[in-house]
Structure 1
Amino acid sequence: MPLWQLFTPKNAYTKEEKADLAKKISDIYSGPTSKENFGFELPRFYTTVVFHEIEADSFFVGGQSHDKFIQIEVVHIARTNEGAAALMGISVEQILENYFAMVSEVLKPYIADRGYEVEFHVETAPFETWKIDGMTPPPPESPAERRWFKENRSSSYSADELIVATS
């Protein structure tokens, strides 16, 4: 699960722009370059994007009303920076550099190019605190997770599908 929450001024984006941005955010984790940048691809349905539109008189930065500001809060739980770095054989700093470069490229047309200021932060939650449809998600790269990836939905799995190949 990456959960993205974007707190935006009211009417900053059309419904089509929201859908396009949500697709591009999902591509960060499940798109053609996610494996080369992070060493993994997540099932697309793991990524959730929520837009919170805020009225100008309810959006304050530094105690001042601000109608050209976007706050983005992301929670990662499906993978950790350390795990991605180990998969790639690179440092956590390099994983973060790759991640923020990708995020910046995706967000630029929607934020900087439109004159918005932005604050962005990522939190990591423990994998063991996560459930989908009442189930603990299968381990990364397990046959069950690969099936979830292919089917793009959660479903029950057997113990045999939890064994991750080590070769």
Structure 2
Amino acid sequence: MMTNNIIDKAGFEPLMMTIIIINGLEEGTKLMPLWNIFHPPGAFTREEKQQLSADITELYKPLPKFYVGVVFQEIAADSFFVGGRGAVSNFVRIWVDHIARTMPNAEYRKRFMDKCNAVFTPFMNTRGLDWELHIDETAFDLWSLNGLAPPLPNTDEEARWRDANRPLPPIAG
């Protein structure tokens, strides 16, 4: 299990990310960061999906865990085309949306990508899977949870959400 988080001695702030796992999400569930993992049928066992999800969530400490979503979506070989060719049976595409945090510079982005690759490389290589990963960053002000604007990063209000592991209405004051 990956235990390193993205806060390091240089003091970089954590990021938020979600992995999309289609099976098991309730309709209307909103996740961020959101990881979408498109893969051939049978590429991962239920236990491996659970472990990958836990490892991905660990990348985002100390964010509230409920910020991180992972969706694994099986794509039939005859519905997955790469380079104009169909019947792709060994390719995994990972698409990540970051919302709660953004990466401040190229050094930070490289370090975070290295951590992401460290999570996935063992899973992919032992299965002979080819894979691609990319991360999009969404503007913080284009995000809400249950109709609430999320608290600003590293605030007491964000700590309150993290402790509750869910969005909370603001404290009247």
The runs of 5 or more residues in structure 1 that have no matched partner are: 31-40, 83-91, 161-167
Larger gyration radius, structure 1 or structure 2: 1
Matching residue of 1:133: 146
Q: Which whole-Å deviations, capped at 9, do the CAs of 1:121-142 have from their partners, x for residues lacking one? A: 1111111110111100011011
Matches within 5 A, 1:6-155: 6-30=37-61, 41-64=62-85, 65-82=87-104, 92-155=105-168
C-alpha distance in 2, partners of 1:120/1:141? 28
The letter for the 1-side match of 2:44 is: Y
| Structure with greater proportional helix content | 1
- Count of equivalent residues: 141
C-alpha distance in 1, partners of 2:136/2:162? 23
C-alpha distance in 2, partners of 1:98/1:142? 25
The TM-score with structure 1 as length reference comes to 0.80
> What's the % identity of the aligned pairs?
40
Extract structure 1 runs of 4+ deviating beyond 2 A.
none
The letter for the 2-side match of 1:70 is: V
Matching residue of 2:4: none
The TM-score with structure 2 as length reference comes to 0.78
SS class of match (1:109): helix
SS class of match (1:156): coil
| Structure with greater proportional strand content | 1
